[in-house]
Copies of this chain bind each other. A is one copy, B any other.
Amino acid sequence: MPAPLSVPSDQVRIALGDRSYDIRIGTGLLAAADTWQGLPAAASALIVTNTTVGPLYAARLRASLLPHYKAVFEVVLPDGEAHKDWPTLNLIFDALLRHGCDRKTVLFALGGGVVGDMTGFAAASYMRGVPFVQVPTTLLAQVDSSVGGKTAINHPLGKNMIGAFYQPERVVCDLDTLATLPARELSAGLAEVIKYGPIYDMDFLAWIEANIERLLRREPDALAHAVRRSCEIKAEVVGQDEREAGLRAILNFGHTFGHAIESGLGYGEWLHGEAVGCGMVMALQLSRRLRLVDAAFADRVTRLIERAGLPTVGPALGADRYLELMRVDKKAEGGQIRFIVIESPGQAGLRSAADDVVRGVLADCTR
């Protein structure tokens, strides 16, 4: 008889030497006592959450943590990418200092990618580093942002420009939390799930195509497989290149165009996953124009992005503005934009492209 899903049926290991950790994937994990065993000992813990997720899940997490810490504090941030900035980050530092938290205090990031990125950077920086645990409650955070140790805040001139590589002690993906996710956020998360197909695993792409309706209906076993396989691929890539010296950059497929959309419209206008979904369409068209893949392949992935409920046409910011925004992308070097392209189905690479070619893509993909 198979183990019930309420027991952590799945664990994916991120192998990074003395910074290795597990991703636990299952249902009922927030309330399960053994989810929280074996974390670093400390007098206090701080739950960092937001105004949307906090009311739904903070009490459950708090109850599970109380046996382990003398004091469990909480700080509630405003919700949304528009608040992924210094003043909001400083709310975490204020709470840590006001409560007398010390160098051993453990931070718990309860929320989506914004909460995870900010909590991670706060943990990296508070007293030059305290432990933290990711408890992602969105599909996007479970399959991508909570795994791999990238933490950051935005700067008015660029997304994720200020941050650190800093690994969590553990990632806890409780699939139950996806039940309350708005449909738009579910689709945004599917963008990062779909991403793993063209860059790494065509079998997974085929599985997503066959199961996209089940994912949109939030069937637990479909979600469990999507999260696990996504985390496995991310674990393989990050394990080989923690600090993005090379390979890891492929995980940014769609992100160079996507960041320009987010930044150009103002953070929060489009969800990050929506911008990435549309950015992947642009990156596929770029790959096609560079004659790396054929139109059928680009159309196939674009169709899946559309079926996931994501935008496939970008906002008309103007090609000059897109190019300007992309030149401050972190992958750019000496003013040269570097794009993640699909070299062949299931394999991605980093390439430069002439401005004219990029302008052609933008003309095709914006309106």
A34 to chain B, nearest CB (A): 26
> How far, in whole Å, are A227 and B120 apart by their CA atoms in the complex?
37
Interface string of A277-299 (1 = CB under 8 A from B): 00000000000000000000000
Taking a contact as CB atoms under 8 Å apart, the answer to whether B162 and A103 are in contact is no
Taking a contact as CB atoms under 8 Å apart, the answer to whether A162 and B93 are in contact is yes
Taking a contact as CB atoms under 8 Å apart, the answer to whether B128 and A165 are in contact is yes
Taking a contact as CB atoms under 8 Å apart, the answer to whether B129 and A164 are in contact is yes
Q: A155-B93, A157-B97 are in contact. Are A102 and B332 (CB under 8 A)?
A: yes
B86, B97, B124, B151: the one within 8 Å of A90 (CB): B86
A126 beta carbon closer than 8 Å to chain B: yes
Point out the residues of chain B lying under 8 angstroms from A90, CB to CB.
86
- Could you name 11 residue pairs across A and B whose Cβ atoms are closer than 8 Å? A43-B334, A44-B334, A93-B155, A97-B155, A97-B161, A97-B328, A125-B163, A128-B152, A128-B163, A128-B243, A164-B164
Q: How many copies does the complex hold?
A: 2
Interface string of A102-120 (1 = CB under 8 A from B): 1110000000000000000
| Tier of interface size on chain A | 35 or more
> How far, in whole Å, are A11 and B329 apart by their CA atoms in the complex?
38
Most buried by B among A44, A102, A335: A102
A317 beta carbon closer than 8 Å to chain B: no
A158 beta carbon closer than 8 Å to chain B: yes
A1 to chain B, nearest CB (A): 46
Taking a contact as CB atoms under 8 Å apart, the answer to whether B97 and A129 are in contact is no
Taking a contact as CB atoms under 8 Å apart, the answer to whether B98 and A157 are in contact is yes
Interface string of A137-157 (1 = CB under 8 A from B): 000000000000011100101
> How far, in whole Å, are A252 and B17 apart by their CA atoms in the complex?
30
> How far, in whole Å, are A44 and B335 apart by their CA atoms in the complex?
11
Point out the residues of chain B lying under 8 angstroms from A331, CB to CB.
103
Given contacts A126-B162, A129-B164, 6 further A-B contacts (CB under 8 A): A43-B334, A97-B155, A102-B333, A128-B163, A128-B165, A128-B243
Taking a contact as CB atoms under 8 Å apart, the answer to whether A164 and B125 are in contact is yes
A2 beta carbon closer than 8 Å to chain B: no
B70, B97, B330, B335: the one within 8 Å of A158 (CB): B97
Point out the residues of chain B lying under 8 angstroms from A152, CB to CB.
128
Point out the residues of chain B lying under 8 angstroms from A182, CB to CB.
none
> How far, in whole Å, are A97 and B161 apart by their CA atoms in the complex?
9
A236 to chain B, nearest CB (A): 21
Interface string of A42-65 (1 = CB under 8 A from B): 011000000000000000000000
> How far, in whole Å, are A264 and B157 apart by their CA atoms in the complex?
36
Point out the residues of chain B lying under 8 angstroms from A234, CB to CB.
none
> How far, in whole Å, are A335 and B164 apart by their CA atoms in the complex?
28
A100 beta carbon closer than 8 Å to chain B: yes
Closest to A335 in B: B100
> How far, in whole Å, are A100 and B150 apart by their CA atoms in the complex?
22
A91 beta carbon closer than 8 Å to chain B: no
A127 beta carbon closer than 8 Å to chain B: yes
Those of A198-221 within 8 Å (CB) of chain B: none
> How far, in whole Å, are A334 and B99 apart by their CA atoms in the complex?
11
